[in-house]
Amino acid sequence: MEQFKHLDAKTIELAGIAASIAGGCRPCLDYHFKEAIEIGCSLEQAKEAIELGKMIKQRPIKDIYEQAEKLIKQLDK
Task: Say which DSSP state 2 is in.
Answer: T
Taking 70 as the threshold, does the pLDDT of residue 1 lie above it?
no
Task: Say which DSSP state 76 is in.
Answer: -
User: Backbone phi, then psi, for 76, in 5-degree steps?
Assistant: -95, 10
pLDDT of residue 60: 85
pLDDT of residue 70: 93
Residues 53 and 62: their CA atoms lie apart, in Å, by 14
Encode pLDDT of 29-74 as tens digits: 999 999 999 999 999 999 999 999 999 999 888 888 999 999 999 9
Altogether, the residues listed in the chain come to a count of 77
CB hemisphere CA count around 18 (13 angstroms) = 15
Domain residue spans in the chain? 9-75
